[in-house]
Structure 1
Amino acid sequence: MRAFADFIAEHELVDLPLASAFFTWSRGESRSRLDHFSISPGWLDLVTEVFQRAWVHSESDHCPILLDPRLESWGPPPFIFKIAWLSSPHMEDRLGEWWVSCLVEGPADVVIGHNLRFVMKELEEWVEESKKQLVERKQWLENRMEELVALDESGFGGGGGVGGVGARRRRNRIEALNVDGLIVSSEEGVSAAVVDFFSSLYSFDNISRPLPEEVEFNSLSLEECSKLERPFEIEEIEKGVFSLAKDKAPGLDGFCLAFFQACWSVVKNDILRFFREFHEGMSLDRDDTLLFCAPDIVKIMNLKATLRCYELITGQRSNFQKSRLYALNISAKEACNFAKILGFKLDSLPSSYLGLPLGVGRLNKSLWDPIVERIERRLETWKRNLVSKGGRLTLVKSVLDNILVYYLSLFKFPVNVSLRIEQIQRRFLWSGSDDKKGIPLVKWEKVCISIKNGGLGIRRIKGFNQALLCKWLWRFGEEESSLWVKVIGSYYGFLSGKWEYDNIFAKNGLTVARHFKHGARA
C-alpha cells in the first residue's frame, strides 16, 4: 500500500471525480471506492472535460467504470446565504415572513431545521426571479451604452473617452508623500519612500521576549467553574451571535451569521428555546468510562439498571450510540444478546480508542502504516510547487507538532518507521521543480540542529520519542498512589512507585525492568 502511494505521489497522478455513484465495490453492508482511473496532469491539459462514470452491475461485487471525456453536470451547487441579499429592499421583512409562516411543532432543533430548509427554498425561488430581472436590466444597460458610444463618436459627447482614461491616470498618480514631515515629490523619492515604508512594516528588530516561566496565566476560580454549568442567559447568547463576523457559518446548512443577526427578532425565541432544551437535556459526554462485567445475564441486567439510575439522579444521558461492548471468551450469540440488552454496539478486539490501538499484542509494522500514510498526505508532492522553502520547512515541522506527538509520547517507534518518516520529510524539504530533482544543500544531521546553533530546528524522531517517553518513567517514580503505577508494579513485580524491582514473575518482566532502570538513569 505504501509503495502504491509512493508511485502516485512521485508521478503526481490525479483521481478524477466519480459520477452517478459513490462506491465501486460492495459486499454485504461494506462499501468502498476501490476502482478508479489515475490521470497525469499532462493528459488533463489535452482533455479538460473528463470524468469517471460508474455503471450498474448485477453479478460482480465490483462496479465497472468508464472514462468519459464529455462534460458532466455535477448537480446544483450547495446553498450559501449571500450577505449581499440583505441589501435588497424589504429583504429582512421577507425573511421574517417566511420564518413565521412555518407552523411546525416539536423540539427546537427540529423546528429550526425545518424553518431553515423552508427559507432556503423560498430564497432559491427569489434568486431565480431576481436573475431574470437582472438579465432584463443588463440588456437595457447594454442598449443604453451603445447609444452613448454612438453619441460620443458623433462628436456630441463632450470630450470623448480618451480624456476619461487620462483623468483616471492622473487621479491614481501619487504626486507627493509626507515622509516624517518632509514633502517628497520626485518620482524616485516617492518610490524609495514606499519601499522603505513596507520594508519596515514587514520586519522587526531583535527584541527580548518573555519566557513562559515569566508569564502568569489567568485561571478560573471555583466560583467561575461552577458558573460553567448554569443555564444559558439571553445576554450571553445575543453577545455570542452578534460578536461574530457576519460571514461566519455555524454549520453545513449554508446560513451564515448575517442571517441570524438580521432576523434575530424573528428567530430569537426558537434559538433561546434550543439552548434551554440543550441545557435541560445535557447530553454532553463528561468522561469516558471503562466497565468490566462477567458474562452473566443477571450482572448485565444490573449494569443496565445502574446506568439508568445514574441518568435519573444526575440528569446526564449515557450516549449508547457511542458505547461499545467488547466480548472476550464467550460465544457470538451471547455477545449479541448482551449488546442488545445494554443498547451498546458490538465490537471486537483489536480496535482503536482516541486514535490509539486497543487490544493489540505486539506492535507490528502494519500498525504504523496509517500514520505514515497520513504524513505522506500532509506532505504530498504537489504542495511543494506552491510554497517556498520556508513554507516547506513549516509544513515539515507541523508533521511532528500535529500528527506524531500523540503517538511519540505513548509508543516507542521502530527504527525503520522513524527513518521512513524522515525520508519523507527530506524529500519534501529538498524537492525541486517538476523537471529538476532537488539536491540536499546540507546534511540532515545539521538540519536537525537547533536554530540557535545554526540549524533549522527540525527534531530527530528517535531522540524526540525517547524524550517524550521519559515523562512516563518520571511519573512512574513520582505518582506512587496512581492506579496505573500500582497495576504495572503488581504485574511486573516492581516495588510500588519505584524504579527498582523485587520479584520478576510476569512474561517479559525482566526486559521491562531493565528498560525502566535504564530510562531512569538517563
Structure 2
Amino acid sequence: MWLSNSSCEEVVVSAWGSGSEIGVEGDILRKVEKRVKELGQWEKDVFGNVKSELSRLRKEIAKEERIAMGDKNTRYFHSCATKRFRKNSMEGIRDEGGVWRTSQEDIGEVMVNYYKSLYTSTDRRVSTGILDFVSTLIDEEMNESLCREFEASEVASALQQMAPLEEPSPDGMPPLFYQHFWSTVNNDVTSPILSWLNSEGLNGLIKKAELQGEIHGYSLCRRGPKLTHLLFADDSFIFCKATMEECDNVLEILKKYEEASGQKMNRSKTSLFFSKAIPEEVKHEIKAALGVPEILHYEKYLGLPSLLGRGKKESFDYIKEKVWRKLQGWEAKLLSQVGREVLIKAVIQAIPTYTMRCFKLLASLCNEIEALIKRFWWGQRGDRRKVHWVKWEEMTKSKTIGGMGFQDLAMFNDSLLAKQAWRLLNNKTSLFYKVFKARFFPNSSLLEAADSRMGSYAWKSILRGRDIIQRGAIWRVGSGEKINIWQQLWLPRKHPTIPLICPLESFENHTVDSLIDPSTRTWNEQLVDGLFVEEDAMLIKKIPFSRNVAEDTLYWPYSTSGNYTCKFGYRFFKEEEELQLNAQTPPICHKHVWKEVWQMQAPPKIKKIFFGEHARMYFQQNMH
C-alpha cells in the first residue's frame, strides 16, 4: 500500500538519512524502530487509520458469518480451526517389525533408524584401485569458497529470495520494505548481519569461555549436567562462580556480543541471584560491578515466581488479584448469563493455567478464586448477597449430565502437573529429564522416586502429577520385567480397577515376565489359569507379544492415541469423582436429554432456561 504512493520513497530516504544521532554500527534495530514510528505517522497522514478501518471490516464480516452460521459455538468453527492441525498430525507409524508405534519418542526413533539403515553402508571395504578412477569433486578452490566468511552480496541475494509479504520481523517491517529500499538501508543493515553470521553468537562465545576455563557453570548436584547458560526467546540465564574474575569475563562476553549483534543488555530488566553461601560483601562488590540489582523474593520471571519460600500463598496471591481485577472490569449486570459463561471459561479460568503447569496451588487459594467466580456468575455485586441456586460441585460437572462445564481448579491443576510427569516418563533426552533425574531420582525411575525434605516445590508438584499417572495409566506388556503383577495396573481394561489380589504370599513380588515362557515368547497358560480368576486369565492370554523383546511402557487408556493429555486427564478425575460420590452414574436417558438441549438450534439464552429449571428443581430437592 505504501509503495502505491509516489511520496513514499522520498519519505523513507529522508527519514533514514536523518538519523546521524544513532548512526553507530550495531544500533540498527533502534534506528529501524525510530523510522518505523516516523513512517507510521506518515501513513496516518496519507491513508488515515488503516488498522481501525480493517478492524471495522473484519467485524462486519464476522457479523455476517454469525448471521449465516448461527450465534453459537458450532462444529463448523471448530472444524475450521482444527483442520490444519489434523492434516499435519501423525498418530503413529509401523517399525521394521510391523509393530505400531504411537509415542512421539518411538515415532522419532523409527524414522531415524529407517534413514540410518537407508544411508548406511553394510560393507565399508573399498578397493583402493576403484578410488583411483574417481575424480575429486570438491577441489581446493571450492572448499576455500565454502569455508570463507559471508559477504554483503550473499546477504542481498538471500533478501531477494524472501517472499515479499511474509510475516514481518520483530522490527515490524516485511521483507518487501528492505527489498524495495535496499540501496538506502544496505550499509546500515548489512554490517551487523555480517558481524553476527561470521561470529558464533552469544551461545558460541559462552561455550568458548567455558572450554578455556574462563567461566564455570552450575549443577544442581554432582551427577547432574553442568549449565553455563539457558537461552529463551529474548531472555537469557548465565551461570558462573560468584567471583569478580568470572563476572568480568561475563561482561567481556556480553560486550563482544553487543558489538557484533547490535543488541544491548537491558540493565533495568536484568537481575542477579546468589546462592545462600555467598557473603554479603561479595554480593555488594558484584552488584556494583555489574550495575544490576539482586532479585527480590516475590518478583516474577517469565510470569512465574522467581523464588518460593515457606509463604506459598503469598507467592501465588498475584493470581487471585489478577482474577479480581479482570472481574471488576466487567459489570455483571451488563452481561447476560451466556456472556458471563464465556468470560469465565475463556478468560478467567485461563489466568492461572500457566502457573498451574509448574506448581500445585494451595487448596485455599483455589477456593478463593472459585468464590470470586461463583459470585460473578450469580450476579453478586459488592456486599449484596445473592442466592447460589446450585452447588459449585454441580456446576463443574459436564454439560451432558446437567452441569455447566466450569473447571474445578484443583483438579485442572492436577491434570496439568500430570502432563509434566508424563513428559519425564517419555522424553528422556530432554534437559528437563536429565537435570531432574540426576537431582531427584538418580538410582530409580520416576515411578519409584520418593519425596524428600530437600526437594523443591516444583519437584513436589511433579510428584503429585506422578501419583495421578499411576492411578490412571496402564502398563503395556513388553518384556514384563518392570511390571509388578499385583501392585500395578496392566490388564487392558478401559476403566482399570484396583490392582489384583495375590493368592500366594510367596508370589507377591513377582513381575509379569515370570508369567511368560521365554523360549516361545507366549503366556504360560497353566500358570496364568492357576493364579487368576477366569475373567482375568482370559484377558491376560489375549495380550499379544511383539516378535522382538520390547520395553514395558505406560499408556493412557482414556485417549485414542494412548498418550496422556490434560483434556483426558481432567475427564478421568471428574469420572473418578462421580464414581466416588454416587453409587451409579446418571441414567443414559439423562445424558441423552442434556445432549439434545445443548445441541438444539436455539439461541443460547433459551438453552439456559432449561438449566435454570434444572437449578430450581435441584434447590427444591435439597431444601426438603
TM-score normalised over the length of structure 1: 0.49
Q: Decide which structure has the larger Cα Rg and report it.
A: 1
